[in-house]
Amino acid sequence: MRAGPSQEDIRRHNLGALLRHVHLGGPISRAELTSRMGLNRSTIMALTSDLTAAGLVREELPRETGRAGRPSLVVRPESARVYVFAFDVGPDRLAVARVGLGGVILDRREVPRDRGRFKLDELAATLSGFARQMRRKTRADTVCVGAAAAVSGGVRKADGVVTFGPNLMDEEVPFGEELGRRLGLGLPVSVGNDANLAALAEHSRGVGVAVKDLIYLHGDVGIGGGIIAGGHLLGGHDGYGGEVGHMVVNPGGRACGCGSSGCLEAEVGERALLESAGRFGAQQGRDAVRAVVEAADRGDIVAQEGLKRVGEWLGLGVANLVNIFNPEMLIFGGMLREIYLGSAAQVRTQLTLHAMAPQRDRLRLRTSALGDAATLVGAAELAFAHVLSDPLEVLARANA
Ligand SMILES: [Zn+2]
């Protein structure tokens, strides 16, 4: 005979669920929590008082109710007190943020970096240095409850080791372990693929809130993706799923950094666009991509042709994804935001030609709501995941 969940299991689950409502949805009344969580008033009261005592939320009288009778207390996250560190290691930049419960960015540093491989110890030293600077500015009663990093590379599910990243790293890198050691907070640093984390960010705080089936495409130097199906990120057996950039759209096409050719990334990535627009070599990065889209807008024929060609390959990739996953929404992020906006007609045409009508008809194509912050926001959510699964335990450990 198997025992059911204990009272303690139920309480832990409910505490996490309540905190999740407050963390993702912002201030909310007890009455609203009662109806959304389907629990009775006394249970909600007991849960909020536990979370208040732990310093994770506070309760306040609402400012204006406009209604007669006793107003329901509003539960707010303790954003200034409880925070995580979020790190973003992109091909062109390093970013660190201190993010409060509720998703508030309290402090942030960002530096451009040169492309190419980095040394693990240098990278970890730079990032932990920024975190230490931020920590020195915090009040004595603040508490760091987690840390996580987004990297443009493959992250092995079993141990969080970064195992590949043609644009960034090419060996097995125990990045989270090294960063955690340097931070010295006694907290593990979770590591995730940047496009996967950006997909989660758009799903929890961006354009894809309440959308259970979505695909997020992220353009940087390469193309990454995050596939959310039934509300869950598809990671695959080892955690490397969602590498949509290496879907072959043009057999025998342009050489790809992965060793194959004609991958979506090879046909749509930054280099492909700049070469197609006759601008490769002069400038690189997001500004160079924007310059092509702006030139096309102004009527530059070469830029227009380049953008069209890239848009056709992008549309073909999107059509394949739509046929396989039937997403409700497909989101273009990173530099794909600009590319999509400059080639929406080509993308639509390819969808009409190659996607099946039932999958295509109700599909919504959108651009990222979080923009360049998506990866950092996603890293913060990864760091908060532990807190939300067992709020009191995590806080007790962080305070110890
Ligand atoms: Zn490839």
CA of 267 to the centre of ligand 1 (A): 10
User: DSSP characters for 284-334?
Assistant: -SHHHHHHHHHHHHTT-HHHHHHHHHHHHHHHHHHHHHHHHH--SEEEEEE
pLDDT at 66: 64
Q: pLDDT tens digits for 134-157?
A: 999 999 999 999 999 999 888 888
* Residue-averaged pLDDT of the chain: 92
Q: pLDDT tens digits for 176-212?
A: 999 999 999 999 999 999 999 999 999 999 999 999 9
Cα–Cα distance for residue pair 342/338, rounded to 1 Å: 6
214-219 vs 223-229, strand pairing mode: antiparallel
How confident is the model over 374-397, as a mean pLDDT? 93
- Percent of the chain, pLDDT > 70? 97
At residue 149, what is the residue type?
A
Q: pLDDT tens digits for 9-32?
A: 999 999 999 999 999 999 999 999
- Whether 68 shows a pLDDT value over 70: the answer reads no
Backbone angles phi, psi at 320, to 5 degrees: -60, -45
Q: Which of 313, 301, 299 is nearest to 261 (CA)?
A: 313
pLDDT at 168: 52
Q: Which fold has domain 210-368?
A: Nucleotidyltransferase; domain 5 (3.30.420)
Residues of the chain with CATH 3.30.420.40: 82-197+374-389, 210-368
CATH class of 82-197+374-389: alpha beta
Count CB atoms within 10 A of the CB of residue 39: 17
Which tokens sit at 378? 């996603």
CA of 194 to the centre of ligand 1 (A): 17
**Helix (H) or strand (E) run with residue 337 in it:** helix 336-354
pLDDT at 1: 56
Q: Which residues contact 380 (CB under 8 A, 6 or more apart)?
A: 84, 86, 97, 99, 103, 148
CA of 222 to the centre of ligand 1 (A): 9
Count CB atoms within 10 A of the CB of residue 153: 23
Which tokens sit at 37? 């969580």
364-367 vs 74-77, strand pairing mode: unpaired
Residues of the chain with CATH 1.10.10: 7-61
- Whether 111 shows a pLDDT value over 70: the answer reads yes
Cα–Cα distance for residue pair 175/162, rounded to 1 Å: 7
CA of 242 to the centre of ligand 1 (A): 13
- Whether 399 shows a pLDDT value over 80: the answer reads no
CA of 317 to the centre of ligand 1 (A): 13
- Whether 92 shows a pLDDT value over 90: the answer reads no
CA of 258 to the centre of ligand 1 (A): 4
CATH 2.60.120 is the classification of domain 7-61: no
**Who wins on pLDDT, 381 or 287?**
381
Which tokens sit at 248? 């072959």
pLDDT at 301: 95
pLDDT at 282: 74
